[in-house]
Structure formats: C-alpha cells, structure tokens
Structure 1
C-alpha cells in the first residue's frame, strides 16, 4: 500500500507520462513499450530483480499497478512481447540481489548511501551543507580564485526524483571539474517535495519553495543564476533568469511572493486565501486532471461561488481557470452529504444543537411565517416522498414523509382528492449572541413544509409547545416567538401568555422552566401575568406597514378629537407647487394603497422634513400625531441604535396613546347621519394592530425585567433581531437563487427545500469562517448599508439595566402621550368620564377588553383545544390590511387519514395500475422495462398497454399534473420557452391583468392554431393581447372570445383588419366574439349597429353578427341577471298534461355547469336523470341548495347524474366533507370555495 502511494505521488508530478516513459526506455517510442518490459523496469526499482526472477505474487502486484496507471492517466500500455529488443535504465540501489526487499530496507539503504557515502564525497570536495528556509542544500565556492577574476553566474542544480544526489555523482563531478573555479555551485535536493512522501509532514508548497530560493539568493547576494533541473520529461535541463525574464508572469509571481512574505510578518492572515488559490492552480497544472486536489478552503470557496453565482457562472470560471475549481460532481456530492439537507416537515433539532454548540450559545428566539408558492407536486428521490401536498398535522406538527407510495393509483388518488399546498410555512431560530462574541449569529432554518389555508390557533399552540420542549431537551432555551400579526397567531399568543385570555385547565406557565418576575407593587397598567413560559413579539415591520395601510384604507375614517387623519393631507403636499420632492421626499407610490408591504415608504412618512411641513398647518395635526406615533414604533423595535430606556419609553407611549384614543372613541357620540352604520371601528386602527402594540410593549417590559432580575443575560435585549424578518429574508434569498436564464421568481415546495439547503450550507460556511482560526478565510461582500448590521449594537451593561427606574419611565411615557393629545377635545371628555389618569384609564380599558374577549378555553390538555371558542369578531381585520393574511380560520375534519377509501390491498395490487397510450417509443421519458434494485424504490410499477413497465415517480407527477392557466401571467409563463415546439394552444382565462414581470418576448414561429377566451372584462387589449398575437408570425387559425373596455372606439371590422388580419399573412381562419364596453358620457356621435356591420362587408364567408346597445342613464357598470323565482310551470311537463314527460335533454358538449344563484327547480332540472343527461362535468353549486334538492344526499333521482361529476365546487357555508356527500359524488374532487 505504501509503495502504491509513493509511486502515485511521484507520477502525479509528471506532466507528460508518455514522454517520460520513453526516456526511461532509451527514447523508445511509447507504443513499443509493452507490459512485460514495464514490469521489468518496476522489478529493478522495487525488488532489484530480473524479470524472470519475479514470483506470481510480485507479477500480480505490478500488473495491478500498471492497470491503475492506465485508468488514472487514460493510457493504453501495449500487450506483452511487442518487441524483444527494448531496454531500459535500471535503478539498482544496492549491489546485493535479494529475493525480496521490504520498503523499510529500501529507505535504510537510501539513508546509508545518501547520509554517509554521499555526504563524505561532498565534504571531501569542499562542499558545505546549508539549510535556508524550507530547503537543504550543498554549496561550493572557490575562495582561492584571484580577486581580479570576475565571478560568473552561479550554477544551481535541482533534483526531485529517485535516490537523491548519489545518483548524480558523475554528473556533479563533471560540473565541479569544469565550472567550480569561476562559478558558485549549489546542489538542491527536492526529492521529498516533488514526490510528496505521504509519511512526511509539513512538506512546503510551491510558494514556500520559491520563497526559500529567494532567501538563498538574498543570502549570497545573487542577482541571477544558471538553473539545471533533472527531468526525464524535459530535454532542456537548464532554466536561467533569462528564461524567467522572458515570461513576466513568473517574474511578477516571484516579486509578489516576496512582498507577501514580508507583509505576512506584520499580518499573517493577509492575502492568505489568494496565496493558497494560486498554489492550488499551479500545483494542479503540473498533474493530470484525474489527480487534481483541492483543500477545504478551496472547496468552501467553490461552494460559495456556486451558490451565489449559479451553475453557469461557476462553470464559466472553472473552464477558463483550469485547476482552480473542482468539478460540479464534487460540489453536488459535498452538498448532498452535508448536514444542511432539509426534508419537508422535518424539524432539525439535532443539527440545531450542533450549530448552537459551535456558537457556544444557549438562548434563542423563534419565528414563524408563510408565503405563497407555485402549487405543483414533485418527487424527492432523496426521501422517496412527494412534495407539494399540504402537510398533515399531528398536534400541530407536520407528519414527516407522509406522502410515500409505490402505487401509481394511490398517487393518482392523491392528485384527484387533495388540493395542492398553496403556502409554505417556515420556522426560523435566531440565536442570542454569547457574552464573548460581538457579532450577531445568523438565524437557523429549523423546518419548512407546505400547508393549505386551514391552519388554526390550536395547531400553532401545539407546534410552539413541541418546539419549546424539543429544544429544551437539547439545552436550548427558546425565549419566545415572533409572527407577522396574523389574527390566529394573536389568538395563540394571547392564550399562551394569558393576555386577555387563558387556558384555565392547562397551566403552561407552571412549567418548571417558566420565567417568574417580581413586581414590588401592583401595576394597574400591566396586563401580563408574572409567570410566563414564552414571550411573544408581533413583527414590528408588519405592524408598521399595518399602521400605514390603515391610513390608506378606503373604509377607515380615522380621527383624533376634532382633527381628521387623512391621506388627502399627503396628496395636497405632493401636489402643492410650494413644495418639491426635496422638501418632503414623497412620491405617489408612497401613498399607493395597493403597495401594502412598502416599509421604505413608512420611513419616508416619519421623516423630520415631512413633520415640519405637517406642523406648519393646523388642520393636519391629527395626521402629524399619527405619523409621530408610527415613528415611535420604529424607534422602539426596529432602530438598532436606540437605548433600552428609549425603547421602553417609546413602546409604552404608543400604548397609552392608543388607550386614550380607543377610550375616547368608546365614549364619543358620532353623528349617525354622516356614517353608514354605528360601527365605531372605522375611527380607530385595526384590532390586530392595536393588540400587537399592547403585546409587544408588555413583552418588552417583561424581557427587561428578566434581565434586570438576572434570569437572562443582557444580550437578550437585542430587540431588533426578535422578529419574523428572518422568515421574510429566507423567502427573498431563496427567490433570488433563480438562475440568470430563469424568469420564475417563485418556487415550489421542492424548489424551496433544495435552495434552502444551499443557503443553509452557505450560512454554515460563513459561520465557520467567522469563528474559526483559519488563516485563509473567505471575505464575503456586504452592502454598505448593512456593513454594521451583523455587528451587535448592544452596548448595555448589566449595571445600566439595573439602574433603570421602570415606574418612572412608564409615567413619563403616559404624560408624553397625554401632552400629544392636548387641545384635541379628547382629554376633556375622558376627564368628564373620570377615566383620565394612568390608573383609572388602564383599569377601565382592562375591563372593556377583558369583557369583550372570548379567549378562554377550559380543556385539560393543549391537544384538545377547540378553536371555535377563539372566534371573535373583534379579531377580524376589517380592511384585510395584511397581504400575507390569507389563512382561513376554518378547521379541517379530525380524520387522521385523508384517503379513507384507500387500503393496503390497493397498495399490494399496484401492478394493476393501467395506463393506455398510443406511444410505442418512450425515449426522453423515464419509462423502463426493468430497473436496478437499488433505484427500484424511485419507480412505480404500472401497466402500459397491458405491458408491465417501470414509471419514474417524477414522470408520474408530470403525467398527473394538469397545467391550469387562469390568468395572463400563466399564459406568458407557458409560452416562455418551455414549449417552443407547441403547434396548437387553446387558453381559457379568468382574467387578464398586467404581468408582474417582463417575460420572454421571443417569436413563436411554430404556433399554428391559437384560441384565447377570458371570463372577465379586460382593459389590456392593446397592451397585452395584440403584442402576444404579433409574436405568432405563422399563425393560421385564430379564435378570440373576449370582453374589453375601451376609451375611444369600438373594436369593429376596420380595427380587426388593421391590427390583426393585415399583420398575419398566413391567417386563413379567424373566429371571434369581441364584446366592447365604452364608458364615455361626452361622446355625441354614436355608431349604429348598421355602421358596425358595414365594417365587416368585405370579410370572406361573412357570418358576422354585431349589435350596439347604449345606456345613457345607467350608472351601474355591471348588470347581472339572476333568476331567484321558481318556475311557474315545471318545464319538464306539458302544461295541459302533468303526467306526460317531455324528451330527455342531453348536453353532449357541456364541460362546466354553474348553477349557484338559482331556484331549486332549476337545480332539479339539471340534476334529475329523468330530465337531463349529463356527461363528466365540472359542477358549481350552492351547498345548501344541493342539500335541499337531494334531501341531504339521499334522493335517488339525482344520484345517477351526480355520480358522473368529476369536479364539484361548493359555495356557501360548507367547510368540510361528510361521508354522505362523498358517497353521492363518488368520483368527484370536491372543493369548498365559500361565499359566491
């Protein structure tokens, strides 16, 4: 084994092995060197034997070695006995012929020859042994030469292969005889360096070797030299400074290494990675590609480059910088083998523990959030599961690897009966920095999984309870959680913390690890109990945007006493010629109600410049105060430089401001004639926003008290990192990992897991670089605005926290809130009602909030919480002002299995999965007759045309996936290069809006037939529809079925000829239904129906009908015609004979039937099989009406037609299936869509 390693290391330094072997065999052509001759050469090198003296074991050893050389260097050694005349150099190190010479004896003999004999020879000749830098060498200089004789350039001899300088004694003797009088001779042995002995440590690299040579030059004051190097691969053994000067790169490298060496004495970490990178390139360039080697630092650099730049960027650099970066296969292997691998629904507590141990931290804050995703099912071969279905929850925790099956039928059943996950839920853990670390650790991705909109507060409570306990078992104390101010998160927080709610029969705060604060006196203004297991913060960024969005709401009528809070004040400032953008910094986008998550505009709204402008006008004081409170929220929770005292004062000033405002509205009598109803909520911020203000301030104070009472370290007061922005950040970063040629900015569940694994690996590399003592650290770019963000702004000492006077700060905050409201007719009313004052105000408000709250549950276990008691109108955000708040409050049924009709017998009979196809050749699709056993689990066994085949599970997903195109974005994505060979495309859209991004605008020359229909009216005919048609240069058949709004003229024949027909030379069939709407009351010259019809007079095969209707007095933009009355006479009977049936009506071409808002008689007409014959249709219907007509799903007359329905979409109050409904529609995929 050692012999193989030595020869491999030696050969790896040979640039051209073919040429080198030819030299060993007396310049014999490589193709004439046969295996037997090569074995003879190796026999002399290792055993000092002739070829015929080798035994079978030795023969086998050398032949396996030759085979390895062939594989590693892609050579082909000729078969034995090509020629009998070949000869080779024989390296016999000892004169004694032995049967077997062990490797130890080889080294012993080598030591004797080089250590004794060779040294004696050099000493006798007058050589001196020296050691400078990393090199040992012999040197000779004739001190007896005349001074007037000019000394010539020194001769430096290098040797790197074989048995050291003893082999070159005749050659050295000749050099000494001819040149020693006028040349200094330096003999350098680099055998250990070149052959890379595995038994030796600290072998110098190339840069260190070059530096050592430079030190020799400096020591002897040499400027240039004649280099002689031993190399069997190079016929020119000399290398002079003239050669180095000929190539500036070599000279500059030497100069650079010299400068780096000098600078490293002051800073040994400077440019270390660059040094290492150059060494790697130069070292690998002297080897074959199969022997390229990369250190851990190069691998980390390559992984970081691949993750940040993508595959194309990485390959571009690797191919153009040979030897610098490893192949992609190595990177994929590193990624797949790392601990950063993420599986759907898996909580990575063990990896979290390792991460915390490496950081030496114990405390952390959790966050949870969800985001919309692309609804698509994909197969994950690493876990053998299907991702994209909503995770099934067990006590709030997703069941890992639930969607696993080898049956195509089972997968098909899932596709037909389970809606795809529309949201991705993630959990992030933010470590609290240790006392000996000034940098803020990056948040850690704990888990990610797909969900639907049926999550409840019950699920959230149980999930937090699970995360807390599992973390605690690993010595990680979760201090609390942060979310995005969604109402169901608020419910869970209030129950868990006992804030205006409680779990009377499940005392979570009595946990042994619960926090306990001590309050010296009763604080009437403090609503939180003294014992808390967890603390909670609603994300302040979401809270700030909610505050802004409330101002922009069309239903809000905010007011403070006699002052209104209006967006019109900002409109007036922007439109006022007195002010420019330099004065206020606002744009119209800052007050755009549709841009609901614009945090940067919130910062603009709280600028001092805007405050000065608002303060100059008396009528805008209400708006000014509203923005000043908004700034206090930012100061309290978001700004990083705020002192802890100022955080506390600002947070509670906002609380008291809201309490005064809310109480004034409760007592204020508004003029009902000026309002639509008596709902006072329009005058105040939304309920989730107000509760978030209260919860955040209470938990901030509680956290300060924990530090003050030394239950938590002072680092726990780094408030700006305790939010759910870690979730938002990973969503942004994951979307940003799309390739440069990809226009898809969103992801599926599978895409997120794959990308998040790379992000976790990148963060792990950054973390190790930050905390390791490595000298070749990587430097990552940081935006100038964020250069100090990861450095802790925490400067508070324990002594400073101890000196905070809590009661004084709270009192100051209350008086500041009162002063802000002075002169607004608010304080007078509160004083009149005897609630003005810190104690009476707080006690009154507590009674009001507590009496209205329904947040109580009397279950004995947390797993039995009934979410129905949580429902409260007070918690509904009437404006829906949070765009991420799209989670339904309806609960799923309690069935543990979604597919109750699926049994183990179905799994056993998976060979009966039958797929019919006319295709015979399945090239390009993963369908095989047989597969290897180790990958068989990634395939489904199916019947294709009654032949047993193996279908890859990802191919099965592709086969079962239906491309649903509902909006114009979907259509553009479909035509974005994925289906360039598409011949025919028929698109049925729900709406046409402007796309969210600019997509591929290339031509579609292969498209011959195109049909576009849209359910809703669009105003983008000229902006979107026509440009799309112009991309179809070879279109032959076109169908347009759309309703559009226009400003100037109807779409008639003239428009169609100019805009479509004349621009499509190959169009031979054009079918259309175009309904134009014009809303222009000032137009006087209206075209008649005849005028419109005449524009089509020259159309070939003219079968066109057109008509124009005018409604000069109409104010409605939409006129729905809905029949709620019953039939006067049942239409399925003749009026003169009720016993005689009319013929059965058959709808052969009906695809989708919507009978939502009609009388029950019409439902009977369509569903009864005695009146109508339906095909496999999609049915839209009201649940209550269906229940009445079918007599609670028992009526036999409708059972036949209902059994044919393949998709049932229910409207109304139904939220969960029942067995009778499923039995009545046995083959239907049932969806619950709420109110129509």
Structure 2
C-alpha cells in the first residue's frame, strides 16, 4: 500500500463491509442508499449489515429529523425489510416505522424508555401494530437510558407495562429490562397484585429488577414455569411470613443470578434464600451477590457456601460474592482454625479470594470468585487485595483508620473503571486550621479518576474534601454529581475563589449540599453547569 491515491471503492467488499459496520447503519443507509453505485447497494443490502437497524434519531433539528425519517419510511425500509431481524427504536415513532412495510423476519425489538401510556396503546388487540407484537416478537429488550419515575408505585407500572407485555406477546421467549450503570428504572412489583396479573408459557429468559425479596419469590410461583434463565436483582429485603409461597421444584431453570447490593439484616436470613435454591434441581450456572449482618449468631461462611450448592448435581459454574459482618471475637476465632480454600469443596476449579476488613466494632469478611464480574463493591477499607477489579464501577470505602493519599492512589489503580464513589470515614486527621491545606497533604503522584461521575463525601472529615478537590492531589475530569457538606466545601475552596480546587468542580451538574447555601456570584461561577 505505497500508493497515495487509494480511494474507498478500491478496497475489497469484505473490508468495506467491516468499515460500514463500525458506523451507524441508519446514517450509512441514508447517505449511501440510492446513489447509483451497485457495489455500495449490494453491501448495504447485505443481510449481516441490515439485519439489525438502530433507528434512534435526534429531534434537535426538526428539518433534518423529518428528512431522515421520511426517506427511511418511503424509500429505504421497504427495499431491505426482508433482511430486518431486529429493530432498535424509540416509542415515539415505533408505530410509523413498523407500519411502513412488512418485516417477515422481524423477531427482536429493543425499545428505549418505554412509558406506561405507550404500553396501553400498543399491547392490545386493536393496536395497529398489535399483530407484530403478538405473533412475531420473540425477543424484547427495554432499555432505559434515563432515570424513570412514575407517581404512584411500582405496582402501577407493573400493571401498565410489564403485565401487558407478558400477557400479550404470545411468542415472547426473551425479556431483558436494563439501564446503564448509575441509572435506574421502575422495578417489577407483584406483592399486592392478583396472582393472575400476568402469565407466560413461552418465556424462557428474564432479566429484571424487582422491588423486594417477596416480589422475587412471586416470580417463582409457577406463572413463568418454562423459565430456563432468570437474572434478578432486588432493592429491599422486605419479607412477609404470612404469605404462603409455592415451593414446587423448578426443573426447567438452568441459569440463575440473584443480586442484592445492600446488607441483609435480621429481616432475612440465608435459609430464606436456600429454600428457593433447593428447588432448582437442574441448575447449571449460579451467580450470587449477597451480604449478611450477623449480630447475635455466628454463621460459618464455608458451611453457607456449601449449602448454596449441595443440592445441585448439574452445577458447572458458580460465581459469587459473599460479604459477612460479624462480632470481632467470633470471626477471629473462626479464622484461626480454618482455611477457606481447603474447606470449600463443591467447586474445586475456581480462584477464590477472601480478605478481612475492620469496620468499627465489627469485622467484614469478603469472599468472592475471581475474576470479579460484579459492578458494585462495598465496605472496602485500608486492607486492599493485590488484584484489579475491572468490572467494579460503584464503590463504597469504609474504615475507622484514616485513608491517606497513597491509599487513594491504589484505589484508582485497583478499580480503574469507577464511575461512582462513596467515602465513609468519620475518623478525622489532626490538623491546624491556620496551616494552609496546600501544605498539609504532600502528594507525590496525582490521583486521577478518569471515569468517576458521582462522588459522595458527606460522611468524612474536611481533609477528604481537600484530597479530592485540590487538583495537585486528585483530578476528576468526568465528575458531574457531588454530595458534600457546604461549609467544608466553602472552607476548602476559600469561599469559591481558590484556583487549585476550581477545575474539579467545573463539570458538576448535580450538587447535593448538606447545610445552608450563602448565594454568591463566586459560588455560581465555581459551578457553571448547575
């Protein structure tokens, strides 16, 4: 390739196809379709290029928006409709795009930010696109790209969105409800709804967040009896002992993931979870993220891990994080007589990490499989394992021993992809308020959190405000959400005039302040994007 006049059309079709796949396929179709070039026509008509169309258009410029949409509907989609197997759409123009032409091979839909009124509008028999949703769609993804809230409750959203989808789509096999890390969506809630709210005999894959542990149990009551994969996260550990649950075996379930990122207290003990795991007699893949607090009793973590899997003869994969809070004396006595890698016998061919953190009058015992695949990690103190947690994006630091600069440097390298950080350390450093903060913490290497978007330092001493916002110590180029005590921030920034702390505040769009705000011109210039 020593020639300097190589053009795009000089490349082989295979390379052209690879290049075009890297671009937005709707943009490529709009730009190249119908330019009277047979090679381009054949490439963009290729099944591997046009089988999945991501039709997500920006309405910032209404003229351009309408031009693209009109041409897609009138010219492009009718000519490639036979190839289309998956559409990624915004509900606002779902009806127009689906009615533009017939899509005989369309089986997959991905909808962005579906609201309850759209569900009522489309998932009914007299809907113009009802026949597509009812008879063709086997895979449905609901992607919530912004935090979604609904006045009322999760029960309302369950009745208006989740139930109509599961009841109406007769061939639906795969339902995946998700959102980007750091955002949330309205959870599924069944606790106060009739048992016949929804039913599906075709669904084999479900990934969703439910409101409580009780709602998770209701999913296993037989209404989705053919599920083979269930990935569920719940937000609250609320239980109700008066509810009689169906405890029949779940022989079809082969893959199960249960995640809770809070801490189980007295309202839910491990036996509640064990009783349902034992119903999954043919389980092959198990993923658990659980954290327990034991105030009055001691539970052997080795025993608990074995109990999770002892009734699963088909199990081939077990990934877990288990966090356990104990009285110090009980745990230290246990650790002196046990070695976790020798005692954990059910899954032999796995790398297991266990380490201990001191947290006030308790000890937190972390045990997990490597490589770590979970996105959240809590109660991490000064004792850091010598590994890299590439998947962790949400971290809570908690210790009674002060965190120093070198520790935060290690955090930035141990958790390179952090987007959310909460620091809890109420043990203040000794300092003299008359000494300049620039002379107190001497940083040898600047800490940089390249991806950190959210920071909570409301439960720390003032020195952590200095540590994070003095750009000679820390750089936060992506920070957009901050929670901090106003008075501490005012002192560190010298009434919002100090230059070395200005840059790390410049991109903040959401500011949670504990305390009274003295409105001033300097304050608003410090946070121009609020």
TM tier relative to shorter chain: 0.3 to 0.5
User: When the two structures are superposed, what TM-score results if normalisation uses the length of structure 1?
Assistant: 0.20
In terms of Rg, which structure is larger?
1
Would you tell me which structure has more helix in proportion to its own residues? Answer: 1
Would you tell me which structure has more strand in proportion to its own residues? Answer: 2
User: When the two structures are superposed, what TM-score results if normalisation uses the length of structure 2?
Assistant: 0.41
